[in-house]
Amino acid sequence: MRAVITGITGQDGSYLTDLLLAKGYEVHGIVRRSSTLQRPRLDQQVHDQSIYGKRLFLHYSDLTDTTSLRRILNRIVPDEFYHLAGQSHVGLSFEIPESTCELTAMGTLRILEILRDLSPSPRFLHASSREIFGTPICSPQNEDTPLNPNSPYGAAKAFANQLVKIYRDSLGLFGCNAICYNHESPRRAENFVTRKISIAAASIKLGLQKELVLGNIDSSRDWGCAPEFVEAMWLMLQQPTPKDYILATGKTHSVREFLELAFQHVGLDWKKYYRHDPRFQRPVEPENLRGDASRASIELGWKPKTSLAQLAAMMVDHDLSRLEQSMLEK
Amino acid sequence: MGKSALITGITGQDGSYLAELLLEKGYLVHGLVRRSSSFSTGRIDHLYKDIHENPGLLLHYGDLTDGQALSNLVLNLEPDEIYNLGAQSHVRVSFDQPVYTLMTDGVGALNVLEAARILNQKKPVRVYQASSSEMYGAVLETPQKESTPFNPQSPYACAKVYAFFQTVNYRRSYNLFACNGILFNHESPRRGETFVTRKITRAATRIKLGLQKKLFLGNLDAKRDWGYAKDYVEAMWLMLQHHQPEDFVIATGNTYSIREFLQMVFSKLDLEWQEFVEIDPRYFRPAEVELLLGDPSKAKNSLGWTSKTSLDQLATIMVEHDLELAKREKHNQSFQQ
């Protein structure tokens, strides 16, 4: 089986790569060209000569670059296409709304257009987001909840989400939206709050950092574990018919709770190190974000198992060992 | 009041050396960085770490293709100098991504010039455009100087030619202090690893420590004029301090083949390069630039700039750095077992 992944260098992309390689797939990743070769999440696989160039291949392209995308896809002829790439930071989308739209909204349309002409057409997974519900009209949210985005990121994802549906219903593409609630891991980018916290807990414990500055710690989210989410994405493409699925734990927790768990794990009292900075607050804070993943549970047999405490522990332990190792190397 | 500068491509080789230079000179330095969920600031992390002692470096998210965001940024920051170093900078890759390369290297430069033009109406700004010896392509005279006609042989070179002429056009049409640095190849320990000199020093040092067996290259007979990036960013700064905007060739005035560079590098490690190098046609250019040799006399006479580092010295600098890297890699490997 052959799969293409956009956003392969990101958190989900790297876990999906692990999963698909383990299942014996040939994996092709799309990467942006940069003069730095930093792809830390893929380091192990890329440097493994039994994998890279044999079952894992990386290709230069960009979500705005249709001609090279088309050429690459015509050459590879994948069975499955996982579209995970985009400008993925909600807060930042208020500062770079045009780029966010170009990449996340238009980029998805471009890909759908290319896939439409491919024969045979691959099964297509779009990483959608609970941000499409914005401040939701009801709680919990399911696949039929109306869209109501309140960020440029949410608006872009909503556009992409709608298009996938249209290409599925009107043009016969096997396309699915994975409407993902927040999902974290040790590979989460450092400017997302859970990872910012786990790094801070580990750094403060090791005396490398003095304080942690955050925005609104009472804001709450439905936080899952990324490796479990990518497994659901794969399951979605193995079904007989294409559908949209909410992927979520169904439980919400506040940033405060995550702070407590992370700092407790290293025996510290978070209140001694936390400082508030209004700069990190969102212009509009989404509320009542809780996903109802019963369709995924019933039809895919998918059940997220990692509790918030386990997630916090996993992330803090990873950052502790990483920081300890780099201290040794100095 | 100190001066401020905006650097696009600050995460790249030149951007990082230029940032260091300007910070040493007391500038407030702003950098433009593409947003990614992986951090790309490896080359400037050491500058950023000292943020409390060195508040002179600020990074902003943006993209050369996002003209609006760029204009907003320039109008808000009001830098005295803008160095447009950001680009899709790999010639071979440009054959695979020709449209993207033009949008970033060509139209991106235009976006910078447009933003500068509008700022200039309010407050004077000076713009440096990173032009390239690749524009000379299949060279029409040797050595190449400022008056040598361009003959680009790649989508990268074509995009750079476009940006070059737009820069000249904005200088003439709008009285904007905008100039082109026509830099010949310039290397360093921070060079991207897919560029041949760095590819060679990385491979040779890893081969020396038993971490790698072979090095695959393309055309070994291509000749280039190679300088040290750290020397070259100083020329960029000098161009913006000059009394008038002009275009300058920045080069060493010497040319060497890849074969000769291989020989220099491997012999510093007591190895015979022929035992370890194999040719892979994948690395051949669809259209090859066989020879580049620059004439930097204008820069010497007008700016007082000359290249200070010979190719042999450059090879030593890069080999020493990459040997350390390879040693650490080897140490970590044994540590993890």
Q: Is B12 on the interface with A (CB under 8 A)?
A: yes
Span B15-43, mean pLDDT?
93
**Which of A17, A33, A70 to mutate: most B Cβ within 10 Å?**
A33
Residues B57-76 have pLDDT tens digits of 999 999 999 999 999 999 99
pTM: 0.84
* Per-residue pLDDT tens over the stretch A267-282: 999 999 999 988 777 7
- Minimum-distance CB partner of A60 among B40, B65, B93: B93
Percent of chain B with pLDDT over 90: 88
Q: Residue A125: phi, psi to the nearest 5?
A: -115, 125
Alpha carbon separation from B226 to A132, A282, B221, B254 (Å, rounded): 51, 48, 14, 8
B312 touches chain A (CB under 8 A): no
Distance between CA atoms of residues B16 and B262, nearest Å: 26
Segments of chain A scoring below 70 in pLDDT: 284, 286, 330
Provide the 3-class DSSP secondary structure of residue A89.
coil
Q: Is the pLDDT of residue B36 over 90?
A: no
Tokens 């905007």 — which residue? B245
Strand B57-61 relative to strand B28-33, pairing: parallel
Residue A191 to residue A92: CA distance in whole angstroms: 10
- Neighboring chain B residues of A329 at a CB cutoff of 8 Å: 328, 331-332
Structure confidence at residue A36 (pLDDT) = 84
**Strand-pair category, A253-254 with A220-221:** antiparallel
Segment B237-282, tens digit of pLDDT: 999 999 999 999 999 999 999 999 999 999 999 999 999 999 999 8
Of B38, B100, B335, the CB nearest to A39: B38
Question: What mean pLDDT, rounded, does chain B reach?
Answer: 94
For the cut 80, the answer to whether the pLDDT of residue B194 exceeds it is yes
Least Cα separation, residue A47 to chain B (angstroms): 11
What are the residues whose beta carbons fall under 8 Å from the beta carbon of B238, sequence distance 6 or more?
Answer: B299, B303, B304, B305
Contact A304, A228 (CB under 8 A): yes
Closest CA–CA distance from residue B243 to any residue of chain A (Å): 33
ipTM value of the model? 0.73
Cβ within 8 Å of residue A190, ≥6 positions away: A196, A199, B39
Which residues in A93-119 are b (16+ Cβ under 10 Å) and which e?
Answer: bebbbebbbbbbbbbbebbbebbeebe
Banded model confidence at residue B1, pLDDT cuts 50, 70, 90: low
Q: What pLDDT was estimated at residue B52?
A: 56
Closest chain B CA to residue A99? B66
Chain A contact for B21 (CB, 8 A cutoff): no
pLDDT at position B154, please? 93
B301 contact A CB<8A: no
Helix axes B155-174, B108-120, angle to 10 degrees: 10
Q: Do A36 and B194 touch (CB under 8 A)?
A: no
Separation in Å, CA of A49 to nearest CA in chain B: 11
B43·A36 Cβ contact <8 A: yes
Task: Indicate left, alpha or beta for A303 from its phi (over 0: left) and psi (-120 to 50: alpha).
Answer: beta
pLDDT of residue B157: 96
| pLDDT value for A12 | 97
Distance from CA of B16 to the nearest CA of A (A): 12
Say which of B66, B96, B193 has its CB closest to residue A68.
B96
pLDDT digits (tens, 9 = 90+) for B121-171: 999 999 999 999 999 999 999 999 999 999 999 999 999 999 999 999 999
Residues on chain B touching A208 (C-beta within 8 angstroms): none
| Interchain CB distance below 8 Å, A61 and B97 | yes
- Residues of A within an 8 Å Cβ radius of B: 9-11, 32-41, 60-62, 64-68, 71, 87-89, 92, 95-96, 98-99, 102, 189-190, 325, 329
Q: Is the pLDDT of residue B336 over 80?
A: no
pLDDT band (50, 70, 90) for residue B55: confident
User: Tokens 């790094």 identify what position?
Assistant: A199
B71 close contact with A: CB closer than 8 A = no
Please give the C-alpha separations between residue A312 and each of A142, A309, A319, in angstroms, as whole numbers: 26, 5, 11
Catalytically active residues of B are: 132, 134, 156
Instruction: Provide the token pair at A10.
Output: 């990101």
* Contact B244/A at CB under 8 A: no
Collapse the DSSP code of B102 into the 3-class scheme (helix H, G, I; strand E, B; otherwise coil) and give the result.
helix
Closest by Cβ to B100, choosing from A36, A39, A64: A64
pLDDT above 60 for B44: yes
Residue B114: predicted pLDDT: 97
* pLDDT in the model for residue B38: 85
